[in-house]
Structure 1
Amino acid sequence: MGTVGIILAGGRGERAKPITLESADYIRSKALIPFVGRRLIEWVVDACREQGIHKFYVVAQGLENRSQIMLLLGHGERYGVEVRYSRPSFDRYNVGSGAATLHNLEEWDLREQALVLPVDSIFDFSLPELEATHRANKAVVTVAAVARTPAEVAGKYGAMQTDAQGLVNGFVEKPGLDRIHDLFPEVRHDNCAMIPTNAGMYLVDCDRLRQAAREPELMRKAQQRLDWGGDLLPELVARGLPVGAHHIARLGDLGNVEDYLITLKDVLAGDYPLMNQLMTEPASASPRYWIHESSLATRDDITGTTLADKIEDGSVVIGPGVRIGRHVAVGSDVHLEYTDVGDGAELRAGARLSRSSCGDASVIGSYADISDTYVGPMVEIQSDRQNPVRLEGYTAIGDGVQLWPGSRLSGVSIYPRLRVPAIANLPSGTRLTSSDDILRWI
Structure 2
Amino acid sequence: MAQDTARQAAATPARALLPQILPALVVGVGASLLLLGVSAAAEALQHVLWRNLPDALGIGRYSVLWTIVMLTATGVAVGLVIWKVAGHAGPDPATTGLDAPVLPPAVLPGLLLATALMLAGGPSLGPENPIIAVNVGLAFWLGRRLLPRLPGGLWVALAEAATIGALFGTPVAAALLISEALAGRQLKGALWDNVFAPLVAAAAGAVTTTLVAHPTFDLHLPPFGHPGWGDLLAVLVIAAAAALLGMCAVRAFPYVHGAFARLRHPMLVLPVGGLVLGLLGALGGHLTLFKGLEEVEEIAADPDGWSAGEFATMTVVKLAALLVAASCGFRGGRIFPAVFVGAAFGLCAHALVPGVPPALGVAAGVLGMLLAITRQGWVSLFTAAVLVASPAIIALLCIASLPAWLLVTGRPQMRLRADGTPVR
TM band (smaller chain): under 0.3
TM-score, normalised by the number of residues in structure 1: 0.25
RCO greater where, 1 or 2, for CA within 8 Å and sep 6 or more? Answer: 2
Richer in strand (by share) = 1
Q: Whose radius of gyration is greater, 1 or 2?
A: 1
